[in-house]
Structure 1
């Protein structure tokens, strides 16, 4: 029970932490590339 509960919160923040910066970087690059030219 403890292992299951501790494993879910540990995986959630890690995935969100990696997905958020990557998505933000992608959007920043796309925005710059579309606005520049």
Structure 2
């Protein structure tokens, strides 16, 4: 059985959720139309 393609990122997010009630504040996403990174 293989792991989910995003399993490692899901684990990192879960670890951030153990430290904060707003873990998405620790992550960014690539915004293609703006050609850059933005906070989630």
Q: Same-fold call, TM > 0.5?
A: no
Name the larger-Rg structure. Answer: 1
TM superposition score normalised by structure 1: 0.37
Higher relative contact order (CA 8 A, sep 6+): 2
More strand by share: 2
